[in-house]
Amino acid sequence: MFSISSRLLSAVALGALAFAAQPVSAATIVGWNLANVVPGPDVAPGATGASVIYDRDVTSGVAGAITNGRVSYTAPEANSPGLKVVNGAFSAGGQNTTGCIMASSTATCDSPFQSGKRFKNQVTGFEPVDFVFDVDPNGVQESPGDPYQVFHRLVNLTGSDLKGFTISLGTGVGSNFVASASGDGLSFSSTFQFGPSNVNVNSQFPFGLFGDAAGNPNFNLDGFFAAERSGFNMVFGEDLLSSNGLYGPYEGIFGPWMSQDAVPTGAFWDFDSNPETDDLLLAWLNADGLWELRRDVVGGVAQTLDTAELFATYAELLDHLDLEVAALLGQDVIEDLANLNVNYAIALDGFADSSFTLRVDVAPVPLPAAAPLLLAAFGGAALFGRRRRCAA
């Protein structure tokens, strides 16, 4: 028989559970504010569009405005404007979030691998790129206190090698940007963790190029260039995330972070004849102008070669491959060499403003001291030619 005290304790416990399950009032991110953005149009399947970001309000036009970046999208994976905010309680790797910032695809925060969650932030210049997000300080969160996960991909389209980048928080855009201060309720999350090292921020080039398949359930093959992850070392701060040099084999092979116009050409196998999946990289045109086969296909199954094989021409490469594989091989740039995935989360704990800004800054590799004079003397074009992209 229950005593009065046990009944009272049970009632209290049930009441506490009921209270915990109820959404509570807390600051929530409402959506991407497009006042400094010219949204791109909706595009047909297979086509690509972009929403261009400016350094000021452009609701009355872009005269005098400057852009240094945009958000790109390709249908049907995503469509205009290229970025969205999702609210709701989600779990990621055993950690809880109150929502996420992601690509404007059909996916949501907890959709599976390769479902199109990352928004593509193409950086086109060397001044800041400002994303403004509207906030409801008195919104309702299903998971109060948990951060918003950010699915961010930086794409170098500056035309120059980059030595690093920063991502910071604040308010305002362009010359009116004010950096976030300690204790203002806006910060990068120090509790949400990523990767095997459980860090608060990490960056890495796509796994298909650099990664060990033995430790990743989503891949059967090691990275094309190396079975080791590569990216930028990151320094975490309450309101500032800063890169601190490259780790892994990327720099030893290619040097600094390349611009997409400088990446080499690859030979890709369309193994499933599905335009919505990524083709598999089998070979690349290396710095010596030779086609380097690093993967082959045996019995319809791709495998990594112990020793790469070299071919003087693309035709010779095709002759080497099985006819069925060669028929489904095509050339394209290895654009993922310009793409950097960045993982972090944003916390709104007592933030009272109606919007905040997520600012992206990149730093080019400086030219040698004498380079400007040489460029002026010789026109620059011949001295600083880009890396080879395709066979003669």
> Does residue 171 share a domain with residue 121?
yes
Burial 237-273 (b: 16+ CB within 10 A, else e): bbbbbbbeebbbbbeeebebbbbbebbbbbbbbbbee
> Does residue 297 share a domain with residue 195?
no
Please give the tally of structural domains in the chain: 2
pTM of the model: 0.88
Q: What is the rounded CA–CA span in Å between residue 266 and residue 230?
A: 19
β-sheet bridge partners, residue 169? 358
> Does residue 310 share a domain with residue 282?
yes
> Does residue 315 share a domain with residue 196?
no
> Does residue 140 share a domain with residue 36?
yes
> Does residue 304 share a domain with residue 213?
no
| Residue range 249-280, pLDDT digits in tens | 999 999 999 999 999 999 999 998 887 788 99
In order along its 392 residues, the chain shows pLDDT tens digits of: 444 344 444 444 444 444 444 566 579 999 999 999 999 999 999 999 999 999 999 999 999 999 999 999 999 999 999 999 999 989 877 788 999 999 999 999 999 888 899 999 999 999 999 999 999 999 887 766 789 999 999 999 999 999 999 999 999 999 999 999 999 999 999 999 987 788 999 999 999 999 999 988 889 999 999 999 999 999 999 999 999 999 999 999 999 999 999 999 999 999 988 877 889 999 999 999 999 999 999 999 999 999 999 999 999 999 999 999 999 999 999 999 999 999 999 999 889 999 999 999 999 998 775 555 554 554 444 333 333 333 32
| Residue range 96-142, pLDDT digits in tens | 899 999 999 999 999 988 889 999 999 999 999 999 999 999 988 77
Going by C-alpha positions, the residue among 333, 202, 338 that lies closest to residue 257 is 338
Q: Is residue 356 part of a domain?
A: yes
Q: Is residue 194 part of a domain?
A: yes
Q: Is residue 190 part of a domain?
A: yes
> Does residue 287 share a domain with residue 142?
no
> Does residue 146 share a domain with residue 34?
yes
> Does residue 215 share a domain with residue 70?
yes
> Does residue 313 share a domain with residue 214?
no
Q: Is residue 392 part of a domain?
A: no
Q: What is the rounded CA–CA span in Å between residue 340 and residue 161?
A: 13
Q: Is residue 6 part of a domain?
A: no
> Does residue 187 share a domain with residue 326?
no
> Does residue 298 share a domain with residue 198?
no
Burial of 68 (0-12, 13-18, 19+ CB in 10 A): buried
Q: What is the rounded CA–CA span in Å between residue 96 and residue 189?
A: 12
**Left (φ > 0), alpha (ψ -120 to 50) or beta: where does 16 sit?**
alpha
Q: Is residue 11 part of a domain?
A: no
**Left (φ > 0), alpha (ψ -120 to 50) or beta: where does 123 sit?**
beta
Q: What is the rounded CA–CA span in Å between residue 125 and residue 268?
A: 30
Domain of residue 279: give its range: 265-333
Q: Is residue 176 part of a domain?
A: yes
Burial of 355 (0-12, 13-18, 19+ CB in 10 A): middle
Q: Is residue 255 part of a domain?
A: yes
